[in-house]
Amino acid sequence: MASNRADLAAMMYPVSRALMAAELPILRTHEISMWGYAVLNTLVEQPIHTQSALAKEIGADKTRIIPVLDELQERALIERTPDPDDRRARRLAVTDAGRALRDAVQADIQRGEDRLLARIPAADRTAFLRALALLAELAPEEISYLS
Amino acid sequence: MASNRADLAAMMYPVSRALMAAELPILRTHEISMWGYAVLNTLVEQPIHTQSALAKEIGADKTRIIPVLDELQERALIERTPDPDDRRARRLAVTDAGRALRDAVQADIQRGEDRLLARIPAADRTAFLRALALLAELAPEEISYLS
């Protein structure tokens, strides 16, 4: 059976790699790493109470994330404070400076993305973003082809 | 500036990873690796004349691709024949058996994808696939945020 479209992963994976590569010069300009930016993005959404919860949230190794958090804290972009509900846990939260940096990086990235998205006809563009957001909201285990 | 959507890469990369993971059980059932399937897919589109051109096409390391090609040839899924135009090159082409295997794998994958895509409202789904195909057709260097 010949198909008239490429597989989703075959289309999406190279594009997503290229999108990440396109972010690198912007991240460098703002002196923040991809993981650092991912941490700030996650903490802007909500404070997180353990380093392993944060690592899981951004799909990173826990050992990988600790030096990233150390550096963000040194630069006063995040705070680690004792969790009042659990003495062993520490609350990770973004500072105002961290939020401002994240907003500046995101504005630059999304300006670039908007230029890229302008290649897509306007009607398709809105539907594309809506469908992509829907897929991105699924838990990884919901993306399964086993019936 | 607070944004009302996540960055494209942040949405697309985890989805594309999950899509690849979802293919693994299907690939295992058909006793083919992800790289093997990528090679067959590429050669179904067109015969290719050097191993390095093929490696570049599928985004793999040349050294990584050679054992994959060896195995595909042993299983008579591809052929490597001398290039009549260039004695140093060999034409890589898919065999009928290779094409049949690729079609069977792709049918299973796309059946799974269709179930996933059914979560997206029909009107958005068509636009999503059209926009994704458009982005996938761009050369990686066209996906750049530098102005």
- Per CB-CB distance under 8 Å, the chain B contacts of A109 are 7, 145
The answer on pLDDT for A134 being more than 60 is: yes
Q: How far is B139 from chain A (nearest CA, A)?
A: 9
Write out pLDDT tens, residues B70-118.
999 999 999 998 888 888 888 899 999 999 999 999 999 999 999 999 9
> Residue A47's pLDDT band (boundaries 50, 70, 90)?
confident
User: pLDDT of B8-58, one tens digit each?
Assistant: 999 999 999 999 999 999 999 999 999 999 999 999 998 888 888 899 888
Count, residues in chain A: 147
Rounded Cα distance between A72 and A39, Å, is: 9
Closest approach of chain A CAs to the CA of B64, in angstroms?
Answer: 18
- Tell me which chain A residue has its CA closest to the CA of residue B145: A112
Q: pLDDT tier at B141 (50, 70, 90 boundaries)?
A: confident
- pLDDT band for A36, please (50, 70, 90 cuts): very high
* For residues A99-122, average pLDDT: 96
* Domain A24-120 fold: Arc Repressor Mutant, subunit A (1.10.10)
pLDDT score recorded for residue A11? 94
Q: Taking CB atoms and an 8 Å cutoff, what residues of chain A touch B7?
A: 23, 41, 106, 109-110, 113
Q: Which of A116, A4, A115, A126 lies closest to B138, judged by CA? A: A116
From B19, B107, B143, residue closest to A1, measured CB to CB: B107
For residue B1, is pLDDT > 50? no
A46 to chain B, closest Cα gap in Å: 15
Q: Is A3 a residue whose pLDDT tops 70?
A: no
Tokens 């993005």 sit on residue = A41
d(CA A32, CA B115): 39
Which amino acid, residue B108? Answer: D
Asked if residue A133 lies in contact with residue B6, where contact means CB atoms within 8 angstroms, the answer is yes
> Sign of the CA dihedral A78, A80, A84, A85?
positive
Q: What is the DSSP string of chain B?
A: ---SS--HHHHHHHHHHHHHHHHHHHHHHTT--HHHHHHHHHHHH--BS-HHHHHHHHT--HHHHHHHHHHHHHTTSEEEEEETTEEEEEEEEE-HHHHHHHHHHHHHHHHHHHHHHTTS-HHHHHHHHHHHHHHHHS-GGGS----
Q: At which residue do the structure tokens 């696939």 appear?
A: B129
> Does pLDDT of B146 surpass 60?
yes
Q: Is B60 left (phi over 0), alpha (psi -120 to 50) or beta?
A: beta
Angle between helix A34-45 and A96-117 (nearest 10): 110
B20-132: which CATH topology? Arc Repressor Mutant, subunit A (1.10.10)
Mean per-residue pLDDT, A49-77: 91
User: Which residues does chain A have within 8 Å of residue B15's beta carbon, measured at their own beta carbons?
Assistant: 12, 16, 132, 135-136, 138, 143
Q: Do A13 and B7 touch (CB under 8 A)?
A: no
- Chain A nearest CA to B74, separation (Å): 24
Nearest-Cα residue of chain A relative to residue B14? A136
H helix intervals, chain A: 8-29, 34-45, 51-58, 62-74, 96-117, 122-137
Asked whether residue A141 carries a pLDDT value surpassing 90, the answer given is: no
Confidence at residue B114, expressed as pLDDT on a 0 to 100 scale = 94
Most confident of A47-56, A136-145, B69-78: B69-78
pLDDT above 70 coverage of chain A, percent: 97
Question: Are the beta carbons of B37 and B20 closer than 8 angstroms?
Answer: no
